[in-house]
């Protein structure tokens, strides 16, 4: 079975899009994830989860910068 590895772009069945680095089929490294509702996360991923520095952009021009840990913003 082939697993994504390296840099690439994928559109998911639900309409979400990921463009960035992959490792063993998981989002891993720098990337950009866009949900079909227009929300975008640009930052770091670790084993398919947001991890480290990143920015969340909302369609209403709101922007949230911060640090994510295990896919959740670390306050």
What is the 3-state secondary structure of the chain? CCCCCEEEEEECCCCCEEEEEEECCEEEEEEEEECCCCCEEEEEEECCEEEEEEEEECCCCCEEEEEEECCEECC
Q: pLDDT tens across 39-50, in order?
A: 999 999 999 999
CB of 11 closer than 8 Å to CB of 17: yes
- Span 9-37, pLDDT tens digits: 999 999 999 999 999 999 999 999 999 99
pTM flag (> 0.85): yes
- Domain 6-73 class in CATH: mainly beta
CB 7 within 8 A of CB 22: yes
């Amino acid at each position: 079975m082939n697993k994504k590895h390296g840099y690439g772009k994928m559109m998911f069945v639900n309409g979400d899009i990921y463009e960035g680095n992959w490792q063993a089929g998981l989002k891993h490294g720098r990337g950009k994830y866009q949900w079909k509702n227009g929300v975008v996360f640009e930052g770091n991923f670790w084993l398919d989860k947001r991890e480290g520095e990143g920015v969340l952009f909302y369609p209403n021009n709101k922007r949230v910068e911060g640090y994510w840990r295990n896919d959740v913003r670390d306050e």
